[in-house]
Structure 1
Amino acid sequence: MQDLLTSGLVVDVALLIVAAEAVLLVLMRRGRRPGPGALLINLASGACLMLALRAVLAGAPGFWLAAALAGAGLAHVADLWLRLRSAAR
């Protein structure tokens, strides 16, 4: 069990589940609010955080961790911008 957690395989499985969730949400939400773009940006933020965890577990160079965290931050800012813009309407 310890090897499963430290190898990063559990993160890979979680990322596959997030990808499947994204596909299902886009297919189910056509024409409704929030739009698929908003849902995908929200999922991208979480996926980037999982990639950061995967980088740490795999012992990847620090720039991969920084890139994943930067991606999560950018997706989070985009998500907040979309939410605030729609709330202002």
Structure 2
Amino acid sequence: MAELIRSGQVADLVLLCLALEAAGLAAWRWRTGRGLGMTTVAALILPGVMLALALRAALTDAWWGWVGLALAGALIAHVADLHQRLRALPGASAQPRD
């Protein structure tokens, strides 16, 4: 177990799980016509992918800049996902009351 973590393969396992989740959600949408759209799935999955890449870089002693870039990417993806979700709320386009 320690080698799985030290080698960064634990991050690969997380990435595999995220890919399977995205594929499952896409298959559900394709098969039933219900569920999340692919843009929503991508926005949901991307922050986790970026965090897993940051973890892998940190565990494998990659250049510190890769860790920072991956974390920044996770933040940007997370903010984009929040923006998308907030826009979809009922009444989100209404003007604020003073």
Report the TM-score, using the length of structure 1 for normalisation: 0.88
Hey, what does 1:35 align to over in structure 2? 37
TM-superposed CA distance for 1:35, in Å, is 2.0
1:54 paired to 2:53: no
Which is worse superposed, 31-40 or 51-60? 31-40
Q: How much identity, in percent, do the aligned residues show?
A: 46
Which is worse superposed, 40-49 or 28-37? 28-37
Any gaps of 5 or more consecutive residues in structure 1?
none
Provide the aligned length of Structure 1 versus Structure 2. 89
TM-superposed CA distance for 1:20, in Å, is 1.6
Partners of 1:85 and 1:20 lie apart in 2 by 27
- The answer to which structure, 1 or 2, has the higher relative contact order (CA under 8 A, 6+ apart) is 1
Secondary structure at 1:60 match in 2 = coil
TM-superposed CA distance for 1:69, in Å, is 0.6
CA-atom RMSD, angstroms?
Answer: 1.5
Q: 1:14 corresponds to which letter in structure 2?
A: V
Any gaps of 5 or more consecutive residues in structure 2?
94-98
Q: 1:22 corresponds to which letter in structure 2?
A: A
TM-superposed CA distance for 1:33, in Å, is 5.1
